[in-house]
Amino acid sequence: MKQQDFEARHRAEWGRLDEWLAASARKRPVDDGFPLAYRRLCQHLALARKRRYGSGLVTELNELVLRAHHVLYGERARGESRWLRFLLAGFPQALRANASLVWLATALFVVPGLVLAIACHFDADAIYTVMSSEEVRSLEAMYDSGNDKLGRKRNSGTDLAMFGFYIKNNIGISFRTFAGGMLAGLGSIFFLLYNGVMIGAVAGHLNQAGFAHTFFPFVVGHGAFELTAIVFSGAAGLKLGGALIDPGALRRVEALRVAARDAIVIMYGVFVMLVIAAFLEAFWSSSTMLPVQVKYSVGAGLWVAVIAYCLFSGRRHAA
């Protein structure tokens, strides 16, 4: 193909790309079609060189490729920095913007848990109102001080296998708590109450049965991330439920779409917290080699760090 024909066929495409690159200097974000346009431009440059077209055209295309490369891969770098900004500011800001829902979810989770913990501590038979005798025996066996690993059944698998199991289990619990918000918030309320009751009953019974020296050192570390993640999932679900119950001046579908923006931001952060919790539960909490004092100290530090992160992280960025 002659250079004149080649330019006539593709000149309009190069012009559009040049206009787009000029607009990108004004912080226009990369769209989905840009990588394909960039690859086509690289092919055109390669063809121009192979066919020994004029140096003016080759130089023009080469400069256009360099500009497009800078925008494309610069955008990827900005994408990575957006994730960092999300973790340091976006997620905690979303929690504070929905503080009333977070506190409501906390009450729905903590209050019934405390009630059942106290009941099971003072009444050895209270645990059987929420668990079968077989489940109670299995639970006690998991926290037997003679176990190589705490918090899991004997021969349950390697630490890595349990890491995968904990991620699946924790995400399942949190997703159900979040998705229950679509039932006008009733599903989220149910799962918050249910998980609070079960966790409180387990804690109260194991404390009463003499397993406090293994149970509490096990949960204190990863609990800072796992328990708070359940609460945050409930708050996100209540956000959806509130939009369905009281859409205000919007249609319910539109109100739900608006509420989902904040809710999804919270759930992104919940996912990160659950991965951290699963890692700690599999490789740290279950270990019987670590002194109890070390587990309590690290656990206390993690709780302080998580609370401080939620309360203060991103405030300067917001200002």
Angstrom distance (rounded) from CA 46 to CA 40: 10
91 falls within a domain: no
Name the more confident of 146 and 224: 224
Q: Which of 42, 58, 84 is the last residue of a domain?
A: 84
Q: Please provide the distance, in angstroms rounded to a whole number, between the alpha carbons at the two ends of the chain.
A: 59
Q: Identify whether residues 74 and 103 lie together within a single domain.
A: no
pLDDT grade for 281, boundaries at 50, 70 and 90:
very high
**Residue 105, number of CB atoms within 10 A of its CB:** 25
What is the extent of the structural domain holding 35? 3-84
Do 147 and 278 fall into the same domain? yes
Nearest to 228 by CA among 262, 257, 285, 266: 266
Residue 51 resides in a domain: yes
One-character DSSP codes across 88-115 = IIIHHHHHHHTHHHHHHHHHHHHHHHHH
Q: Are 170 and 278 in contact (CB under 8 A)?
A: yes
Q: Cα dist. 189→164, 170, 269 in Å?
A: 27, 18, 20
Mean pLDDT of 155-164: 80
Is the domain of 308 the same as that of 196? yes
- 306 and 183 in one domain? yes
Considering the domain architecture, whether residues 72 and 115 belong to the same structural domain is answered as no
If asked whether residues 129 and 35 sit together in one domain, one would say no
Average pLDDT for residues 293-303, to the nearest whole number? 96
Taking only the tens place, the pLDDT of each residue in 189-246 is 999 999 999 999 999 999 999 999 999 999 999 999 999 999 999 999 999 999 999 9
151 touches 173 (CB < 8 A): no
Q: Same structural domain for residues 38 and 108?
A: no
**42 and 171 share one domain:** no
Residue 93 lies in a domain: no
Q: Quick count: other Cβ atoms within 10 Å of Cβ 257?
A: 12
% of the chain with per-residue pLDDT over 70: 91
pLDDT digits (tens, 9 = 90+) for 251-265: 899 899 889 988 999
- Whole-model pTM? 0.74
In a domain, 144, yes or no: yes
- Please, what is the average pLDDT of the chain? 88
Give the integer Cα–Cα distance in Å for 157 and 81: 37
Domain identity same for 261 and 175: yes
Residue 77: per-residue pLDDT: 45
What are the tokens at 250?
A: 């919007």
Q: Which amino acid is at 11?
A: R
Separation CA 183–CA 196 (nearest Å): 20
Among 31-40, 131-140, 253-262, 278-287, whose mean pLDDT is lowest? Answer: 31-40
Task: Note whether residue 90 is domain-resident.
Answer: no
Q: Which of 8, 95, 126 is nearest to 310 (CA)?
A: 95
- Residue type (1 letter), 131: M
Give Cβ neighbours of residue 48 (< 8 Å, ≥ 6 apart): 3, 6, 57, 58, 61
Q: Please tell me the total count of domains within the chain.
A: 2
* Residue 89 falls inside a structural domain: no
* Inside any domain, residue 226: yes
The reply to whether 128 and 203 lie within a common domain is yes
Q: Does the residue 167 lie in any domain?
A: yes
Say what the pLDDT of residue 182 is: 94
Q: C-alpha dihedral over 29, 31, 35, 41, to 10 degrees? A: -90
Residue, of 78 and 105, whose pLDDT is higher: 105
Boundary residue ending a domain (58, 84, 110): 84
> Is pLDDT at 109 greater than 80 in this prediction?
yes
